[in-house]
Amino acid sequence: MTIPSVSPRGGKRLTVKAMAELLNVSTATISNAFNRPDQLSEAKRRWILEECRRLGYLGPNAAARSLRTGRTGIVGVMLADNLAYSLTDPVANEFLHGVAEEFDRRQLNLLLLSSHDDDPCRNRLQESMVDGFIIYGWLQESATYDRLLRHNKPLVAVDFDLEGCTWVNVDNYDGARRSAEHALATPPSNVAILGLRLVDSDRVCRVRDRELFNEVRAISVRRLHGYLDALSTAGHTVSPERIWSTPTNNHQDAYQAAREALTSSPRPDLLLCMSDRIALAAIQAALQMGLRVPEDLRVVGFDGIPEGANIHPSLTTVYQQSAEKGRTAARIFLGEQEDRNVLLRTRLLVRESCP
């Protein structure tokens, strides 16, 4: 069957009703061809789409549909880091996987947004398209929070506390403290801490007299306090000179910090690392320097990414429930879980790097 070519009257955009009349089918059939392909045979769906394309009909108007229902079926996930970095970070990947599992089940879509986008027009357009926001990670620019709050849409925060907003966090303090207590059961001679985003610097640096980020917002500062409290209880002190901060959770920065720590005097025989990526880079640096792990140097990580179990020596680390963070945030957003703050527990995984 072939439909003669037509032009919309007065050059106006074709509607779903007009297309239904032209193709002699119901408006629901046209809508299903675009939005619910499982409701039609493949042959019929293909025919409808081909005819719509030939006649210049682009499909049901999503913007108009959202005005009728008040929902677009799209949820914005605002990322503290840029998109390229977030998609290569194993912890962020697990979190997004957890969110996607829940939204796939409800046939909702994700729109990944980056807090690094400084185009106000694009921001307004993208943020107007979504039904609400899940914010992942601490956004240093407070104006972004203020802008999202002004939308008056559902909002869930992950990995930080935001006043007036339900949050999902991991117990970073407890996980860090317990990992340090395990490491200190065999008393070290010298301890160094390899931190992540402890201070406002875009370079690898020692903390020294720099001002730490706010503990309420920066999960790394919570981990630092967990380490320091365990050290203090065990009678150890770590000066700011022995604490490094890396600006990103990538191998290059982590390797640089590890090399600086391992060439400092006195050389540490215990490294407390605030991420598994940092810890893995530290093990690599140590082995390349001829040090034995754990005989000369013991290393503890934080995150529980799969790579830590697949190397030799395998990494002692704190496992955080990254995918569960995503699932929990999504369920709260969807109203399938009580709208209250959630603090997820961690688990210590003892392996070869710090037995």
Q: Is residue 120 scored above 80 in pLDDT?
A: no
Q: Supply the pLDDT for residue 6.
A: 45
Q: Are 93 and 128 in contact (CB under 8 A)?
A: no
Tens of pLDDT along 158-193?
998 877 789 999 999 999 999 999 999 999 999 999
Average pLDDT of span 23-49: 84
pTM for the model: 0.78
Q: Check whether residue 231 and residue 158 sit in a common domain.
A: no
Containing 270, the helix (H) or strand (E) segment is strand 270-273
The residues facing 191 across adjacent strands are 270
Answer yes or no: is 232 within a domain: yes
**Residue type at position 203:** R
Which residue from 107, 109, 77, 104 is spatially nearest to 92, judged by alpha carbons? Answer: 77
Q: Check whether residue 32 and residue 104 sit in a common domain.
A: no
Q: Check whether residue 209 and residue 106 sit in a common domain.
A: no
Q: Supply the pLDDT for residue 46.
A: 87
Handedness of CA 41, 42, 44, 48 (dihedral sign): positive
138, 169, 200: which is the final residue of a domain?
Answer: 169
SS3 state of residue 245: strand
Structural domain count, the chain: 3
Q: Supply the pLDDT for residue 192.
A: 98
Structural domain boundaries enclosing 93: 71-169
Q: Check whether residue 181 and residue 230 sit in a common domain.
A: yes
SS3 state of residue 238: coil
Confidence grade of residue 123 (pLDDT, cut at 50, 70, 90): confident
Average pLDDT of span 132-147: 81
Answer yes or no: is 330 within a domain: no
Average pLDDT of span 218-227: 93
Q: Check whether residue 182 and residue 292 sit in a common domain.
A: yes
Tens of pLDDT along 263-290?
999 999 999 999 999 999 999 999 999 9
Answer yes or no: is 340 within a domain: no
Q: Check whether residue 120 and residue 218 sit in a common domain.
A: no
Tens of pLDDT along 50-63?
888 888 887 765 54
- Give 172's contacts (C-beta < 8 A, 6+ positions apart): 219, 220, 222, 223, 226, 320, 346
Q: Check whether residue 180 and residue 312 sit in a common domain.
A: yes
Write out the E strands in 84-163: 109-114, 133-136, 155-158
Answer yes or no: is 2 within a domain: no
Answer yes or no: is 338 within a domain: no
Answer yes or no: is 312 within a domain: yes
User: Which residue bears the tokens 């990322």?
Assistant: 79
Mean pLDDT of the chain: 88
Q: Check whether residue 139 and residue 124 sit in a common domain.
A: yes
Q: Check whether residue 120 and residue 206 sit in a common domain.
A: no
Q: Check whether residue 156 and residue 294 sit in a common domain.
A: no
